[in-house]
Amino acid sequence: MSREFAYVPPHHDSSERYVSDPGPLPGDSVEVTVDLGTEAIGRSWLRTVRDGEQEWVEGKEDGGRLRFQLPCHNNVVNYRFHLETPDGPRWLNGLGLIDYDPGDVHDFRLTTTGQPPAWVGDGVWYQIFPDRFATTGNYRFGDSDGQSEVDGHDVSWVEWSAWDDPVADGPAAMPQLYGGDLDGIIQHLDHIVGLGVKGIYLNPVFPARSNHRYDASTFDRVDPLLGGDEALIRLSKAAHDRGLKIMTDLTLNHTGDRHEWFQAAQADADSDEAAFYYFTDHPGAYEAWLGVSSLPKLDHGSDELRRRYYKGPDSVLGRYLRGPFNMDGWRIDVANMTGRLGSLDMNQDVARQTRATMDDIDPDLWLVGEHFFDASLDAPGDGWHGVMNYAGITRPVVSWLGDFTSLSAFTAGPGQSSRNAVQMARAMDVIRAAMPWSVTKASMSLLASHDTARWRSMAVSDDLALVGFGLLLCLPGTPTFLYGDEVGLTGETSEKARVTMPWDSSKWNKRFLDCYRSMIAVRNNERALQRGGFRWVSITPDAICFMRETADDRLLIRASRGETKPTLVGLVGASRLEPVLNGDAIDVSNGIARLPGDGPDLTIWRLT
């Protein structure tokens, strides 16, 4: 058989299969290994950096692997490998085997500042936009009953809609409420648990003057339109009783202009609260998120703001992580913009202080930041555990399986419109290779959210939508999907995506529901999909193959967007492929397997 088909390049990633301890402490030394594949290697070295200066460690070959001892002295430990190959010297870094001298940006990385909670990445998360998931009808206060205020909260702005009414466009969308509440979620926990998901992520639950509630008027209580504090406590207990994690959403970047802090700030230029915001001409001119006056931006230079909001267990952030609320983490809205204004940049200070507060309360809590772009510089591993991985998952997958113009619903600009899997894989690689493995694992991987068009609206067809969801469950990260995706809900913009959940099952796409359940079940049963490393096996324009590997298990995944020619792939150390999801068993002869050209399709095999 020719080298073209049999060649398997050397491979390393920072997962447990190749690192003796992926979460070292400062001063530890860990063993890292390189799988040689079919490559013949002469001498080899590990190149790392200590206190800004490079160091070299020579490797030893042992049964098809190179072994190195990596000293871990700094918060972030960069390393890559230099290999003598028959074709000349090569570097091995997060982008693979390369024949030029790289910078450090794509080095492998370990962090010594603490790892994400062990459970992060093991389960699939379900995102709920509270106003649109389910209603008990118990909290529809406002014009219909003559009330303009509930528990001190203004509800005169609300425009109530019936559950089946269409979502409004433009400015009319913001005050439109359908009456979804937290007790409604409790009533439908059977549906959520039946999907096989392990966690619920809620968009904000604080009082506000919009259906999205990112313009909070207070952080001291839960919105009475959702049922108030007691409803969140009930939901937390009910979710935990069913084995579900639960977390909600916080805006460290801004408040609403009706927030009690901002009201106090405008009333008195000498108040503590006045230092919470960036006034350019008190009281009417101030910095706001993207210039939206209803969202005044917070100034994290204020010690008092930090103390009240996220520093210490008695802060706002700490309060909802402790009893009786017992949230399991926070998603931080616009984390990429938080603490940044012009030449001022406190972003990492905010991230690290938020993390420190959560670690002090319970190191088993998850902290994830919203980030639409390359988050590698903002997520070195000692602040946000992970990010919403739009750059490394969403944009690449949609460019391959979807109508890329749909991405304009949440990111302006032309973007990559090739829909070629080779370029998709490259886009994934440059993001994954620039972040510590712990951050990749603890990041939300998603195809869509409340801020995008619906996944089914972006995908070219039902078949490709299901291939994409299966791919999401197989890629590194913490898979997260928006309520209703499992029954085929559509929406061409972020506003239209926030449709109400139809509880009349005759309106559901039953094929989607069955496939979502079965694919989630596979992921729940396969540790390699939850915690395994990542390794490309084959990439062609219309089909990709990759492996997820733990220390004692290897899975091969093939995803295609159409029928292709059968593919020969090199699989060192395997004798047979046993089907885990779809497909048939395949014999491996002399390290080579012939994969079928089915498509659109997603198949998972176990290497035995």
Q: What percent of the chain has pLDDT over 70?
A: 96
Question: Over the chain, what is the mean pLDDT?
Answer: 95
Q: Six-digit token pair at 319?
A: 């309060």
Element (H, E) at 328: none
Q: What count of Cα atoms within 13 Å lies in the side-chain half-sphere of residue 177? A: 30
Q: Is 333 tagged catalytic?
A: yes
Instruction: Round to whole Å and give the CA distance between 204 and 498.
Output: 14
Instruction: Round to whole Å and give the CA distance between 18 and 12.
Output: 6
> What's the whole-model pTM score?
0.96
Q: What is the dihedral of CA 113, 117, 120, 121, to 10 degrees?
A: 60
In this structure, the number of other CB atoms found within 10 A of the CB of residue 148 comes to 12
Q: Which residues contact 181 (CB under 8 A, 6 or more apart)?
A: 130, 134, 135, 136, 138, 139, 225, 226, 227, 231
Residue 7 has pLDDT above 70, yes or no: yes
Burial 336-365 (b: 16+ CB within 10 A, else e): bbbbbeeeeebbbebbebbbbbbeebeeeb
User: Residue 142 has what pLDDT?
Assistant: 77
**pLDDT, tens digit, 9 for 90 and up, residues 591-604:** 999 999 999 999 99
**pLDDT, tens digit, 9 for 90 and up, residues 256-313:** 999 999 999 999 999 999 999 999 999 999 999 999 999 999 999 999 999 999 999 9
Question: Collapsing DSSP states into helix, strand and coil, what is residue 331?
Answer: strand
Amino acid at 291: G
Query: Three-state SS string across 380-404, please?
Result: CCCCCCEEECHHHHHHHHHHHHECH
**pLDDT, tens digit, 9 for 90 and up, residues 474-502:** 999 999 999 999 999 999 989 999 999 99
Q: What is the mean pLDDT of residues 93-121?
A: 96
Q: Which residue out of 13, 181, 328, 370 is catalytically annotated?
A: 370
Per-residue CA distances from 310 to 19, 57, 201, 256, 352 (Å): 34, 42, 20, 17, 10
Contact 214, 288 (CB under 8 A): no
Contact 128, 203 (CB under 8 A): yes
Q: Six-digit token pair at 558?
A: 């093939």
Spell out the domains of the chain, with CATH numbers in brackets. 3-111 (2.60.40.10), 533-607 (2.60.40.1180)
Q: What is the mean pLDDT of residues 569-586?
A: 96
Cα 179 to its chain centre, rounded Å, is 28
Residue 574 has pLDDT above 90, yes or no: yes
Q: Which residue out of 16, 223, 229, 333 is catalytically annotated?
A: 333
User: Residue 418 has what pLDDT?
Assistant: 56
Q: Is 495 tagged catalytic?
A: no
Question: Collapsing DSSP states into helix, strand and coil, what is residue 177?
Answer: strand
User: Residue 146 has what pLDDT?
Assistant: 66
Query: Three-state SS string across 222-274, please?
Result: CCHHHCHHHHHHHHHHHHHHCCCEEEEEECCCECCCCCHHHHHHHHCCCCCHH
**pLDDT, tens digit, 9 for 90 and up, residues 133-191:** 999 999 998 766 667 888 888 899 999 999 999 999 888 999 999 999 999 999 999 99
Per-residue CA distances from 589 to 6, 577, 580 (Å): 11, 11, 20
Q: Six-digit token pair at 106?
A: 């794509």
Nearest 5 degrees, angle CA 144-CA 149-CA 154? Answer: 105
User: Residue 415 has what pLDDT?
Assistant: 55
Residue with tokens 């399709």: 601
In this structure, the number of other CB atoms found within 10 A of the CB of residue 99 comes to 10
